[in-house]
Amino acid sequence: MKRLILAATIVAITACGGGGDASLSPVGPSRSPAGASISGTVSGTGVTAARVLDDGSAFSTLATSSVTVSIAGTNISTTTDGQGQFTLNNVPAGTVTLNFSAPGQSASITLSGIGPDDKVQITVTLNGNNARVDSEHHSSPDTNGHEAEVEGVVSATTGTCPSLTFMVGTPKVTTNSATTFRDGVCTDVKDGARVEVKGTRQADGSILATRVEIKQAQAQQEAEVEGLVSGSTGACPAVTFTVGTTKVTTNSATSFRDGTCATATANGATVEAKGTKQGDGSILATRVELKKAPAPAPAPAPTPVQQEAEVKGLVSGSTGTCPSVTFTVGTTKVTTNSATSFRDGTCADITKNGARVEVKGARRNDGSILATRVELDR
């Protein structure tokens, strides 16, 4: 057996205080590709019907003009066009029940607070005999300063609490220090949260909210990433690093597995980080698991062992001032400094040209000797 699913988009309703006939501006039929889901995004449209096989293996959309939309207790009704578009005029003020019916299907919703000359736009999702209002927007021809309300999903949020600006459907909403928040706090107003807003209509059509009721806070999106750590900064447990192109942040609530915080957040470590996706696309990690420790840093090159050297002979080419003197013994250059000890004579006597000396010290790379001792050979 096959079952029928209805999905409603935006329904435009005008309340003018009396009953009357519905108006309809049909347009051509529209079909969604196989495998597509039914969702509503076009202002002024209504219901689209879809047929789904029991096993879910096939999905096709049927253009239809047979879905009836009516106001209970009145003769106000219309049928949708091929794209599910419809408009109901002369809807009575107050509370009304909006019925959707198709062969073998029936669903309804209740709209309240419809005022004289009110225009209501709603987003409705229908599933078999069930209906859900996704957003609701009331407006009047003379809107500036009038009370207004809207319900739906938050998007395009900017600002810092309590001064926020966001969209609920098409109306822009602003909050300030006078706005009250119910069933939640100001910081719960994020993209994806469902809210009901009441306030006053401004000249530009936006709503200055006096009250924001949190219907459903944004569900935190779980996220994970695995790869090499790079760009690590901070001190444990508050560290920020990058895995691939994703920034990951840890804090005191982050747990570390198979390694310490210092090891798991070190550049070159291979980790799996799990946490919640933040607004900027980064991940606030609830857990970081070390997959592979970073390679150990290469050991510093050993200091070359200085080779002891010794030379005997006559001093020549002596330059410098004691104790820093440079001279030659045979073909070997010798340098002395403040650490050189002089035996059997003074530095001046021992390093003058023609003196016969015995030099001991360390051989340098250039073959010269840095003298640790110079002894006068009498």
Residues 344-355 have pLDDT tens digits of 889 998 899 999
The token duo for 15 is 């309340």
> For residue 50, what pLDDT is reported?
38
CA atoms within 13 A on the CB side of 284: 10
Q: Residue 128: pLDDT above 80?
A: no
Q: Given 3.40.50.720, 3.40.190.10, 2.40.50.140, 2.60.120.560, which CATH number is that of 307-376?
A: 2.40.50.140
Question: Could you tell me which residue, 261 or 25, shows the higher pLDDT?
Answer: 261
pLDDT (0 to 100) of residue 25: 34
Other CB atoms within 10 A of residue 222 CB: 11
Q: Write out the DSSP string of 99-112.
A: EEEETTEEEEEEEE
- For the CA atoms of 170, 218, 221, 281, the dihedral, rounded to the nearest 10 degrees, stands at 50
Quickly count helices (H) and strands (E) in the chain: 2, 29
Mean pLDDT of 46-57: 35
Beta bridge partners of 116: none
In this prediction, residue 117 has a pLDDT band, given cuts at 50, 70 and 90, of low
* Predicted pLDDT at 188: 85
Specify the pTM.
0.34
Res 217: pLDDT: 67
Is the model's pLDDT at 13 over the cut of 60?
A: no
Question: Each residue of 216-238: pLDDT tens digit?
Answer: 766 567 888 999 999 999 999 99
> What percentage of the chain carries pLDDT values higher than 90?
36
Residue-averaged pLDDT of the chain? 75
- pLDDT for residue 137: 66
- Of residues 246 and 46, more confidence is placed in 246
Model confidence at 16: pLDDT above 50: no
Which position has the higher pLDDT, 11 or 350?
350
pLDDT per residue as tens digits for the range 174-203: 999 999 998 888 988 888 788 999 998 888
Residue type, 211: R
Per-residue pLDDT tens digits for 272-284: 999 888 767 789 8
Higher model confidence: residue 361 or residue 9? 361
Which position has the higher pLDDT, 35 or 356? 356
State pLDDT tens for residues 20-45: 443 333 333 333 333 222 222 222 23
Model pLDDT, residue 215: 83
pLDDT-wise least confident of 48-62, 160-174, 353-367: 48-62
The first and second tokens of residue 222, run together, are: 């779980």
Who's near 288: CB < 8 A, 6+ residues apart?
Answer: 248, 250, 254, 255, 256, 257, 261, 264, 265, 271, 272, 273, 274
Length of the chain, in residues: 378
If one looks up domain 147-216 in CATH, what number appears? 2.40.50.140
Where, residue-wise, is CATH 2.40.50.140 in the chain? 147-216, 222-292, 307-376
* Whether the predicted pLDDT of 132 surpasses 60: yes
Average pLDDT over residues 303-310: 75
Q: Does 3.10.129.10 match the CATH number of domain 222-292?
A: no
